Amino acid sequence: MGIQSSGIQSKKQGTDAMKDRIMQSRKSRALRRPTRFWPALAGSVMLLGACDALTLDREPDVAHLEISSSDVSEVVLVTSQWFVEVEDPECPDGGCNTLIHLVAADTTMVSLPFSQSYPFNSRLQFFAETYPIEREPATLSMTVYLDDEEWYNDSRLLVPEDSDGDRETLRFVYKYNIATLGGG
């Protein structure tokens, strides 16, 4: 009986010793080679950073404006980099379009095709509006790029000023807003 019990005991000791060796081996491998996890960790961090780069807005450097027409050779162009948006006082309910009040603006007649870049100032605003000089309907096209990305592209037949003094125009308004998170 003593032989059998010592065999069982030695099997148990052997199993425990084997478990200890396996655990020590796992621990020592993890401690000996912690660098094998760094590439995976770095890759995960870079992937998260890349996702943020796709969704984070940044301040633009330049607005580029292009205007063309096959009907007219000159248009009126109003540009501004300083304006304020206000609620329409005649709007009975909220949710109406805002009114744009130009604080400073340049109004010029430009020859078509027209192409010019406008570097942004500290306000990060850009307003452009154009309409034909002639009193005849004319199709105008206006494209605006912020840096190298197209933000506006419209082409329409614009009718001249009506008896009330209203006229159809092509208008682009941009104001950079920094996104903020709500908090307490």
Q: Which residue range(s) make up the domain with 10?
A: 2-55
CB 75 within 8 A of CB 104: no
Residue 30 belongs to a domain: yes
Tell me: the pLDDT tens digits for 69-80? 999 999 999 999
> pTM of the entire structure?
0.65
The whole-number pLDDT of residue 179 equals 63
Same domain assignment for residues 80 and 167: yes
Same domain assignment for residues 11 and 96: no
Residue 107 belongs to a domain: yes
Same domain assignment for residues 30 and 75: no
Tell me: the pLDDT tens digits for 87-126? 888 887 777 888 999 999 999 999 999 999 999 999 999 9
Same domain assignment for residues 7 and 69: no
Residue 60 preceded by cis peptide, ω within 30: no
Q: How far apart are CA 89 and CA 145, in angstroms?
A: 32
The whole-number pLDDT of residue 53 equals 34
**Sheet containing 125-132: which strands, arranged edge to edge?**
98-111, 74-87, 125-132, 170-175
**Amino acid present at 162:** D
Same domain assignment for residues 81 and 9: no
Same domain assignment for residues 48 and 66: no
Residue 104 belongs to a domain: yes
Residue with tokens 């614009």, as numbered in its chain: 158
Residue 180 belongs to a domain: no
Residue 147 belongs to a domain: yes
The whole-number pLDDT of residue 50 equals 41
Same domain assignment for residues 95 and 153: yes
Structural domain count, the chain: 2
Extract the residue ranges of the chain whose pLDDT is less than 70: 1-57, 178-184
CB atoms within 10 A of CB 126: 24
The whole-number pLDDT of residue 46 equals 43
Same domain assignment for residues 98 and 132: yes
The whole-number pLDDT of residue 95 equals 74
**Sheet containing 62-68: which strands, arranged edge to edge?**
114-119, 62-68, 138-146, 149-158
Same domain assignment for residues 83 and 141: yes
Residue with tokens 């760094």, as numbered in its chain: 38
